[in-house]
Amino acid sequence: MILKIVMSPIESPSDYVKQRRMRLPDLPFSEFQKILDMKGLKKTELVPLLEQFKQLENADAMHAAKSHIAHDSPEHEAVSIKRLERLIKKI
């Protein structure tokens, strides 16, 4: 998989980073930097890719935190209880 990422062309930073996420979803930032080093990119080409990677990681972290909070909220529990009650009534 890493070879596919290294050999794939970079048409836009966002597309390249999304492609990387599809193939290696748990890839840490340091490993992504190593992959870019293997591609032999110049510093000016590296910066937009690294920034895009960080933005997507931050967005994923915020989304994960929000979904975790939402599942623990009293409103979520109330909705779950109502769904369970409806299922019981159907039976």
Tens place of pLDDT per residue across the chain (91 aa): 678 878 888 888 889 998 888 888 888 999 999 999 999 999 999 999 999 999 988 877 776 666 655 556 677 677 878 888 887 887 7
Angstrom distance (rounded) from CA 47 to CA 13: 9
pTM for the model stands at 0.62
In the block, tokens 């062309």 appear at 9
Extract the runs of DSSP E, i.e. beta strands, from 1-91. Answer: none
Q: How many domains does the chain have?
A: 1
Q: Which domain holds residue 66?
A: 2-89
Calculate ∠ Cα 58-53-38, nearest 5°: 150
